[in-house]
Amino acid sequence: MKTHKAKRVAIIIEAPMESRLTDALEKAGVTGYSILPVLGGSGRSGSWRRDGQVGRAGGMVQVVSIVKEERLETLLNAAFEMVEHHMGVVTVSDCEVLRAERF
Amino acid sequence: MKTHKAKRVAIIIEAPMESRLTDALEKAGVTGYSILPVLGGSGRSGSWRRDGQVGRAGGMVQVVSIVKEERLETLLNAAFEMVEHHMGVVTVSDCEVLRAERF
Amino acid sequence: MKTHKAKRVAIIIEAPMESRLTDALEKAGVTGYSILPVLGGSGRSGSWRRDGQVGRAGGMVQVVSIVKEERLETLLNAAFEMVEHHMGVVTVSDCEVLRAERF
Amino acid sequence: MESIFALAGQNLSSPIILSFVLGVFAALARSDLSFPEAAAKAMSLYLLFAIGFKGGASVAAYGLSLNLGMAILAGLFLSAVLPFVAFFLLKILTSLDTTNAAAVAGHYGSISIVTFVAGTSILEAQGIASEGFMVAVAAAMEAPAILSALWLVARSKAGQTNGGAQFDRRLLQEILFNGSIVLLVGSFLIGAVTGERGLASIESFIVAPFQGVLCLFLLDMGLVAGRGLRDGGRVLKPGIFVFGVVMPLIGAMIGLALGAAIGLSAGGVALLMVLSASASYIAVPAAMRVALPQADPAIYLTLSLGITFPFNLVIGLPVYVAVAQALLGGSS
Amino acid sequence: MESIFALAGQNLSSPIILSFVLGVFAALARSDLSFPEAAAKAMSLYLLFAIGFKGGASVAAYGLSLNLGMAILAGLFLSAVLPFVAFFLLKILTSLDTTNAAAVAGHYGSISIVTFVAGTSILEAQGIASEGFMVAVAAAMEAPAILSALWLVARSKAGQTNGGAQFDRRLLQEILFNGSIVLLVGSFLIGAVTGERGLASIESFIVAPFQGVLCLFLLDMGLVAGRGLRDGGRVLKPGIFVFGVVMPLIGAMIGLALGAAIGLSAGGVALLMVLSASASYIAVPAAMRVALPQADPAIYLTLSLGITFPFNLVIGLPVYVAVAQALLGGSS
Amino acid sequence: MESIFALAGQNLSSPIILSFVLGVFAALARSDLSFPEAAAKAMSLYLLFAIGFKGGASVAAYGLSLNLGMAILAGLFLSAVLPFVAFFLLKILTSLDTTNAAAVAGHYGSISIVTFVAGTSILEAQGIASEGFMVAVAAAMEAPAILSALWLVARSKAGQTNGGAQFDRRLLQEILFNGSIVLLVGSFLIGAVTGERGLASIESFIVAPFQGVLCLFLLDMGLVAGRGLRDGGRVLKPGIFVFGVVMPLIGAMIGLALGAAIGLSAGGVALLMVLSASASYIAVPAAMRVALPQADPAIYLTLSLGITFPFNLVIGLPVYVAVAQALLGGSS
Ligand SMILES: Nc1ncnc2c1ncn2[C@@H]1O[C@H](COP(=O)(O)O)[C@@H](O)[C@H]1O
Ligand SMILES: Nc1ncnc2c1ncn2[C@@H]1O[C@H](COP(=O)(O)O)[C@@H](O)[C@H]1O
Ligand SMILES: Nc1ncnc2c1ncn2[C@@H]1O[C@H](COP(=O)(O)O)[C@@H](O)[C@H]1O
Ligand code: NA
Ligand code: NA
Ligand code: NA
C-alpha cells in the first residue's frame, strides 16, 4: 500500500479555548482536524478530572490534525499563539498517510 | 527496559462503519485494537460534532491498532478497502512497545 | 517555530488500575499526563465495550505522557510494574514539542 | 381553513414547539448551549420505550382490532412506495444526481419517531382517540424505504459503476434490528403483554413526565437542526427547499387516502399522515452512510432535520390532524 | 409448589422482567440498541440513592428495632462465609484452578444491588412488609466476601507463587469506600435523619418513577448480559453453568436459616435470601482485576451477570419470597 | 437570632443539604463515587429549564408588575458593582495580585444558579411567596460582573503589560449567549407565553421531581467541591477563607438594601440577597480562562465552589430568608 509522509500535530488545550484554536487552524489553511475528549490529567497547575463537572473551565480537549510537512510551520505558529498564555501541550510526530490527496 | 519496534495504525472512520472495519482487521490477523471516541472535527465534507446527536451517522470514531511491522501491509490493505469510498483518515507511525510477545 | 525532541508514552491499561498507574508515574517524576477514554477494543482476552456498563472492570483507559528522553527509562519501569500482571499496552514514540521548558 | 390557522397558532404556543424554537435560536446565535450526546440518546430511548409501551398497553385495553394487520401492511406499502414519489419529485424540482436523489428519497419513505410522538401529543391534547397499534405501524415503516432507495440506485447507471449501492445481508440485519425498531416493537409487546397492570406499575415514569422530556428533547433537536442549518445551509437550493415542504404534504395526502381506505379512526388516519409526511434522521442516514457513501449527508440531513422536521412540527401536524378530523371525525 | 410456579409465571409477565428479556434478545440478535455508559451509570446512581433513602426513611418511621445490629452481623457473616461454600462447590463441579475459583467465590459472597431492588419490588407488589434496614445489610455484604476470596488464594500454593493476591491498604480503602457502599449507606442515613418530612419532599422523584427506571435499567442489563453470553459463552462449561444455578439456591437456604434465626420478618428473610443468592457484578469484579489479575474476568462476569443474575431475576426471586412467606409469613 | 439558628438547624437536616454533605464526605474519603459528566450536565440543564419555566409561568399567572424592569436594572447594577466591593475586600484581606483579585471579584458579582434554586426551595418550604421574574434577574446578573473584572485588570499596571485581559467581540458574544443565560431566559419566556396551560402540561416533569433532582445534583456538587478542597486546599490562606465567608454576607446586605428600595416582596428581597451573595462557578470561570489566563483557576474555583457555595447553602440561605422576612415580611 502506497503511503506518504505527513505530520501529526496533537494539541491538548483548555476546553474554553477549543473553538478559538480550531478557527485559528482553519485560518492557517489546515484542511482537517479531529477533536478528542480528555477525561482528566495532571500538570504543573495541578490535577483535574471531568467527572461530575458542569462548566467547561477546568477541562482540556485534544485537537489532532494530520498535515503535509509544508503546512506544519503555519499550523504551529497558529497553535502557539493560542496556547502561549494558556495551559496546553503541543506535540508533533512523523507519520505516513494513505490517500495523501486528502491533506 | 527492553522495547521492540512496532507500528501504530490510527484510523479515523465514520461511526456506522466501525464494526465493519474491526471485523476486517480481525480477518486480517490483527491481534488487538482499541476504539477511541471522537467529539467532532472538520474536513473536506464540512464540520461536525457529537453534542446532542442521537444517530450514529455524522460522527467518527478512531480505531487504533499496534501491530508488528510484518503485519502492517495486510492491515493497511484491509483498512483501505473499508475507507476507500468513505470519509476517513489512516495514519501509520513508528513506535516501540513493551512486551512484544503480545502483538 | 522551535521544537524540542521528546517521547510520547501511551499506556492502555485496565480502568481499575488507573489511579495506581498515575500515582506510580508521579512517583517516577513525570511532570504531566492526560487520561483519554477508550470505548472498546479487542485483544487476547476477548473483546469489550463500555456501552451500558456500570462497573469499571472490563474497561480500559489510555494514559498519555509526554516526557523528556532522559525521564523515559524511569517512566517505563514504573509503567511496566503496573501492567506486568495486567492487560495493557505500552507504546513509546518520538515526538517534538513546543515549549520544552514545561516537561 | 380559518380553524386550521387557529390550530396552528395554538400549536405554535405549546411548550414543545417553543422549546424547539429556542433550540434553533440558540444554535443560530452561536450559543454554547448543548446537550451531552449521552443525554440526548437517553431521552430518545426513554421516548421510544414510553411510546411503544403505551401503544401496547392500549392495544391490551381496547383489544386488537383486525385493522392491525391491514395497518401494518399499509405502513410497509407506504414506506416502500413513497421513495419513488419522492425521487420523481426530486428529479423535477432539483438537479440532484441519481445517488443523492435516491438517498434523500429513502429518508422520506421512512419515518421520524419524534414527529410521531409530537403528533400523538396533539391528538391527546385535543382528546382525539387513535389506535394504539399505530406505534407498530411506525416501526414497520422504518426500514422498507431504505430498500427502495437502494433499488433506485442499483437499477440506474450510477449503480452499475462507481461502487453503487453496497448492499448485503449484514446491512439488512442492521436495518431490521436497528435499535429504534427493536425498542419500539419490544416495548410495544411488553405493553401488550403486561397490559393495564403493567402500565399502572410504571405509569408515573412513562406517562406523567413524558411531555416534559419531550420538551427537552425538542430543545436538543432544535439545537442540532439549527447547527445543521447554519453549517449545511449551502445545500439549500430553492428546489431542495421546496421539496422539503411539498413532499410531506404529498406524503400526508397519500397516507390520508390509504388510512381512510383501510378504515382507521380519524386519529389513526392523522397518525398515518404524520408518519407518511415525516422523514427519518436517525436510522436511514446511518444506513445510507454504509450503503451509499457517495451521497452527500449534508443534503439529506439538512433537508430532513432542518426543513421537513420543523415544517411538520409547526405547521404540518395541526393541519394533518385538522384535515383527518374534518373528513373522518364524528364531531368537533 | 404449584403456587410457586404461578408466582414465577406472574413474575415473568412483569414489565421489569420482560424488559430484561428484551435486552437479552436484542443483544443476541446483534441489534445496535445500547445505552450510553453515562446513562447506565446515572440510572444506577438513582436506584442506589432511592433504595437507600427509602430504607432509611422507613427506619425513621417504624423505629430501629434491635434487629438492625443482628442483621448487619448476619450480613457480614454471610458475605464472609459464602465464598468458602462457593469455592468448595466450584472445586467439586468445575475444573477451575484455585485463583479462578476463589475469584468467582468472592462474587457469590457479595451481592447484586439490582437483584435486591427487584426483590423489594416483588415484596411491595405482594404487599409483604420488610425491614427498612435491609439496605444497610446489603451495603454490609458488599465487601467481606472480597477478603475471603483473597484469603483463599493467599493460603494456597498459587498464592505463594506467581504474584498471588495483590492486597494492600489502598485496596482495602477502595473496597470499603467504593461508590455503591458510600451512596447506599449515605442515602440510608439521610433518609433516616430526614424521615417522613424528607421523604415527602422527594417522594415524587424516588418513589413514583422508580419502577420505570428499573425497567430501563434492566433493559440495559439485559443488553450487557446478552452481549456477555454471546462473547463469553465459551467459558460456560456444564459444571460452571450448574454452579451458577445451584449456588444461589444454596446461598438462599443459608440466608433463610440465618434470617429466621435472628428473627427477621418474612419479608426481611426473603431479602436476606435474595442477598445471599445474588452475585456481585460491579464492585467485586473491579477489586478482582486489581487484586487477582490472573483470574479470567470472562468466567466471573459471565457467571454472575449471564447466569446467576437472570436465574435469580426470573426464577429465584419469586421462589425465595414464596418460601419465606410460606415458612414465616403469618397469612398470605 | 435564636430562630435563625433554629432555621439553620432545620435547613441542615433537609435532604438537599445532607446530600451535599454526603458528596463532600465521599470526596474527602477518596471514594470513587462520581457522576458522569453527561449526567451532571443533564441535571443542570433540567434545573435551569425547570426554574426558568416556573418563573415565567408564575409571571403569566400573577401579571408582570412594573417591578420587573426595576429588578432587572437592580440586578445589572449589583452584578457590575459587587466586583469592585469584592476587589477592595480582597486587597485588604489577601495578598492576591491584581489579576487574581480581579478574577475572583468577577465571580462574586455574578451568580450561582443552584444557590438560587436552593433559595427558592427554602422559600417554598416556608410558604413565602416571591416574584416569578427573579429568574430573569438571575440571568441578568450572570454577565456584567465579568466586564467589571476585566476593566479592573485593564486599568491596572498588570493590564498594560503581560497580555492583560484578552477581551474582544467574540468573548462578549460568548458571555451574553452562554448556555445558562440562553436556557434560563428562553424557558422563562416559554413559561410566560404558555402560562398556566403550558405549566399544566409539563408540571409533573418540572415540578414534582424537582427536589429530588436537586438532591442528586447537590450530591454531585459536593463530590466536585470536596475534590476541589482536597486538591486545591493549598490556596486556602486564612485571608482568602475569610473573604469567602464575609463577601457573601456583604453582598447579601447590599442586595437587601437595593431589593427593599425598589419594593420587592420579602421573598423577592431574599432571592436578591441570595443572588448577590452567591458566586459563579460555571460561566465566569470559563470566561476567565479565556480572558485572564494568567489568573490561577485553583484560587477562584476553590473559593467559589469550596467555600462560598457551601457557606451559602448551609448557613447563608436560611439567614438571608429569615432577615428578609423579619424586616419586610408581613407576619411569621
Ligand atoms: N507532559 C504531559 N503529557 C501529557 N499531558 C500533559 C502533560 N503536561 C500537561 N498535560 C495536560 O495538560 C494539562 C495542563 O497542564 P499544565 O499546564 O502543566 O498544568 C494537564 O492537566 C494535562 O491534562
Ligand atoms: N487532516 C485531518 N486530521 C485529523 N482529522 C481529520 C483530517 N481530515 C479529516 N479528519 C477527520 O475526518 C472527518 C471527515 O473528513 P473529510 O472526509 O475530509 O470530511 C473530519 O470531520 C475529521 O473528523
Ligand atoms: N495491539 C493492540 N492495539 C491496540 N490496542 C490493544 C492491542 N492489544 C490490546 N489492546 C487493548 O487492550 C485490551 C486488552 O488486551 P489483551 O490483554 O490483549 O486482551 C484490548 O481489549 C484492547 O482495548
Ligand atoms: Na415518511
Ligand atoms: Na451473595
Ligand atoms: Na453574586
Using 50, 70 and 90 to split pLDDT, how confident is the model at B51? very high
Query: In degrees, to the nearest 5, what angle opens at C-alpha F205 toward C-alphas F201 and F211?
Result: 140
Residue F109 Cα, ligand 6 centroid: separation in angstroms? 4
Separation between Cα atoms, residue F112 and residue F180, nearest integer Å: 11
Q: Is C15 in the pocket of ligand 3 (CB under 6 A)?
A: no
The rounded distance, in Å, linking the Cα atoms of D22 and D220 is 9
Mark yes or no for CB contact C47/E231 under 8 Å. Answer: yes
C-beta A64 within 6 A of ligand 2: yes
Judge whether residue F27 has pLDDT over 90.
yes
pLDDT at B24: 95
Weakest-pLDDT range from D24-33, E156-165, F27-36, F110-119: E156-165
Which pLDDT score is estimated for D161? Answer: 62
Give D150-196 pLDDT, tens digit per residue. 999 998 876 666 556 678 899 999 999 999 999 999 999 999 999 99
Report the mean per-residue pLDDT for chain D: 93
The pLDDT, as a whole number, for residue B100 is: 80
Q: Cβ(C66) to ligand 1 under 6 A?
A: yes
- Average pLDDT for residues F268-285, to the nearest whole number? 97
Asked if F128 contacts F266 with a C-beta cutoff of 8 angstroms, the reply is: yes
Do the Cβ atoms of C51 and E37 come within 8 Å?
A: yes
pLDDT for the residue D235: 85
C-beta B35 within 6 A of ligand 3? no
B50: nearest CA partner in chain D = D37
Share of chain F above pLDDT 90, in %: 86
For residue E332, the model assigns a pLDDT of 41
The mean per-residue pLDDT over the stretch E69-78 comes to 96
User: Who's near F129: CB < 8 A, 6+ residues apart?
Assistant: F123, F265, F267
Whole-angstrom Cα distance, residue D261 to residue D255? 10
Residue in the structure block whose three cell numbers are 426595576: F70
Cβ-Cβ contacts under 8 Å, D111 against chain B? none
pLDDT digits (tens, 9 = 90+) for D7-40: 667 777 899 999 999 999 999 999 999 999 999 9
Q: Which helix H or strand E contains B8, and what residues bound it?
A: strand B4-14
Nearest CA in chain F to A88: F293
How far is Cα E31 from Cα C95, in angstroms, rounded to an integer? 41
How far lies C67's CA from each of A90, C29, C94, in Å? 12, 10, 10
**pLDDT for residue D13:** 82
Spatial separation of the C-alpha atoms in residues E268 and E260, rounded to whole Å: 9
Q: Which residue has the cell 413474575?
A: E11
> Can you tell me the ipTM of this complex?
0.96
- In DSSP terms, A62 is beta-bridged to A12, A36
**Which E-chain residues 180-209 have CB contacts (< 8 A) with chain F?**
182-183, 186-187, 189-190, 193-194, 198, 201-202, 204-206, 208-209
Ligand that lies nearest to the alpha carbon of residue A45, given by its number in the listed order = 1
pLDDT band at F9, cuts 50/70/90?
Answer: confident
Q: Tens of pLDDT along D254-296?
A: 999 999 999 999 999 999 999 999 999 999 999 999 999 999 9
Q: Residues F13, D14: contact at Cβ < 8 Å?
A: no
By CA distance, what is F35's nearest residue in E?
Answer: E42
Mutate to test the pocket of ligand 1, among A17, A42, A61 (most ligand atoms within 8 A of CB): A42
pLDDT at F303: 96
pLDDT of residue F332: 42
Q: D9 touching F, CB under 8 A?
A: no
Over residues F272-297, the mean pLDDT reads 95
**pLDDT confidence of E10, banded at 50, 70, 90?**
confident
Pick the residue from chain F with its C-alpha nearest to A16: F286
pLDDT score at F15? 95
- pLDDT (average), residues E246-252: 98
Residue pair D250/D87 in contact by the 8 Å Cβ criterion: no
Rg of chain C taking only CA atoms, in angstroms? 15
Amino acid at position F182, single letter: V
Query: What digits encode the pLDDT tens for the residues E170-217?
Result: 999 999 999 999 999 999 999 999 999 999 999 999 999 999 999 999
Closest atom of ligand 3 relative to the C86 alpha carbon: 17
Residues of C in contact with A12 (CB under 8 A): 34
Atom from ligand 2 closest to the CA of residue A31: 1
pLDDT: which is higher, D67 or E45:
E45
Nearest CA-CA distance, residue F203 and chain D, Å: 8
In percent, the amount of chain E with pLDDT more than 70 equals: 93
Which residue type is seen at F173? Q
- Which residue among D41, D178, D206 places its CB closest to the CB of E36? D41
pLDDT grade for F160, boundaries at 50, 70 and 90: low
What share of chain D has pLDDT > 70, as a percent? Answer: 93
Q: Read off φ and ψ for residue C71, nearest 5 degrees.
A: -90, -10
Would you place residue E236 in the very low, low, confident or very high pLDDT band (cuts 50, 70, 90)? confident
Decide: F219 and E49 in contact? Cβ < 8 Å: yes
* F190 alpha carbon – ligand 4 mean position (Å): 30
For chain B, first and last CA: distance in Å? Answer: 17
What is the predicted pLDDT for the residue at B17? 95
Phi, psi of E156, deg, nearest 5: -90, 175
Do residues D322 and D8 touch, judged by C-beta distance below 8 A?
no
Instruction: Give the pLDDT confidence of E76-119 residue by residue, as tens digits.
Output: 999 999 999 999 999 999 999 999 999 999 999 999 999 999 99
Give the pLDDT confidence score for residue E248 in this predicted structure: 98
Query: pLDDT tens digits for chain C (103 residues)?
Result: 889 999 999 999 999 999 999 999 999 999 899 999 999 999 998 999 999 999 888 899 999 999 999 999 999 999 999 998 898 999 999 999 998 888 8
**Which of E22, E31, E39 lies closest to D178 in CB terms?**
E31
Ligand 4 center to D124 CA (angstroms):
22
In E, which residues are within 8 Å of D54 by CB distance? none
Strands A60-67 and A4-14: antiparallel
Q: Name the band, by pLDDT with cuts 50, 70 and 90, for residue B102.
A: confident
Provide the sign of the torsion angle of the four alpha carbons E75, E76, E81, E83, taken in this order. Answer: positive
Extract the residue ranges of chain A whose pLDDT is less than 50.
Answer: none
pTM for the whole structure: 0.96
Q: Would you give the DSSP letter of residue B90?
A: E
